[in-house]
Amino acid sequence: MALVFIGTFMGLTFGCLPGLTATLGVTLLIPITFGMESYVAIGMIIGMYVGAMAGGAVSAILLNIPGTPSAIVTCFDGYPLCQQGRGAEAMGWAAVASSFGSLYSWAVLVFVSTAIASVATSFSSPEYAALALLGLSIVGSVASDDPIKGISMAALGLFLSLVGMDVVYGSYRFTFGSINLMAGIPLMPVLLGVYSIPQVLQICNETNVVTQINVKLKNFIPSPKKLWRAKIPLLIASSLGTFIGIIPAVGSTVAVFLSYDQCKRFSKSPETFGKGNHEGIIASEASNNAVVGGALVPLLTLGIPGDSVTAILLGGLMIHGVQPGPRLFSEQPDFIIGIFTCMLIATIMMLLIQIVGIKFFIKVLSLPQSYLVAGIMCISLIGTFAVHSNFFDVGIMLVIGSFGYFLIKAKYPIPPLILGFVLGELLERETRTALILFNYDWTGFFMRPVPCVLIILSIWFFVYALYKPRKK
């Protein structure tokens, strides 16, 4: 219990600090667990995983800087709520939604993991390519004010994702002879650049005002009535997050964007999304924590990691002499029960830590802005450097961040750029692999039911995104 608590607390801390992701936290934690019993060690690591996914909301809401890549969407509505003096309420919704998503995926993991894993792992390149295209099609939802600007920014993100080695031929593209660009542009410098640098420059242009906020429990714990009204976005986001978590190699970033889009479509007030709607926070936080339980499904049942964190967790399991797969459930049922229990305990502890610690988190808003700017810059620079220990990444962050500041001034939306950049590599790799399988016959995508349905949905979302503002 104590070690799971420590792991969860460390995860929340890592998630709060931009650049220190769940992947890095789990990587650093594995060597510490060498001398522990297997289920205790893995339970502590799962606590780190659960806490880090939820912790990214803290800096996203208070500073408009996502602590983890999956907290990008939390910025859309969390920071506007904070600017309205409702930061505590936003943090409360984030904590509750994260816990609900985690519990939902835990229930799926416990009761129907084997059946779902067999379906999700049947996906191949055509399905992955169609899923990436569907993710890109929601650009109209995250840039509803001007879809043309949104599509332009998504195209820019796609272009940035092309930098580096060609996925089929192995040749280098747009590297300008730089050895640092041969592996492509890393995600973290882009993410911190377009969110932290513009934020710092905007703060520097404002009057240095100290904000005092009094936080009471009733302000940030949603009432049962409010929770019941939010049941639809909670269920939609948790279901999507769990399912996408089960599909190997897709990840939480795709899950949060898709969940945000669907919650917006089912909302009674979609026009308030991006302006401070708590349903937007629910969509992001419920889905990114639901990915945790979803990603554990193929890992434990088939030995296939669902994302980068579970890939490292797979190594941790093998270090402790545990071989994931179908035989694990029959040969070591006590270990499986221990893992399920640890995840449930970590989820409960995550909620309790956030409820107690939220009063301290909110104090960030009381800092003088000059201190806040210095802190943001230090954390962003250290976080960018820490991922690959490369000063070139710091340079990328500063250049892209400065460019992002002028894009924001020109009212170009940043989320489509991130969406295009994140999904670009997946879309290109899987599309070109699928075309090789189909002998370069594009109609092959429509011969399979899942890609056919996803592509038709993607086309519909693109057309609707362009038609809606024209109709207005």
What is the domain count for the chain? 1
Residue ranges making up the domain that contains 406? 2-471
pLDDT at 120: 59
Q: List all residues 6 or more positions away from 4 whose beta carbon is below 8 Å from its beta carbon.
A: 43, 44, 46, 47, 342, 345, 346, 349
pLDDT tens sequence for the chain (472 residues): 899 899 898 888 877 776 566 776 777 777 777 778 887 888 888 888 888 888 888 888 887 878 777 788 888 888 888 888 787 888 888 989 999 999 998 988 888 776 765 665 567 888 888 878 877 876 665 555 677 888 888 899 999 999 999 888 889 999 988 998 998 898 778 877 887 788 788 777 765 544 555 455 556 778 888 888 888 989 999 998 888 887 765 667 778 888 888 888 888 888 888 888 888 899 889 998 888 888 888 778 766 666 667 767 777 777 777 777 667 777 778 888 888 888 899 999 988 888 887 777 766 656 677 777 787 788 778 878 877 788 999 999 999 999 999 998 888 888 788 778 878 888 898 899 999 988 988 888 898 888 898 899 888 878 877 776 677 6
pLDDT given at position 119: 65
The pTM assigned to this predicted structure is 0.71
How far is the CA of 387 from the CAs of 55, 219, 376, 384, 425, in angstroms? 18, 36, 17, 6, 19
Q: What is the pLDDT of residue 362?
A: 65
Rounded to a whole number, what is the distance in angstroms from the first to the last CA of the chain?
Answer: 56
**φ, ψ (nearest 5 deg) of residue 192:** -70, -30
Distance CA 191, CA 349 (A): 29
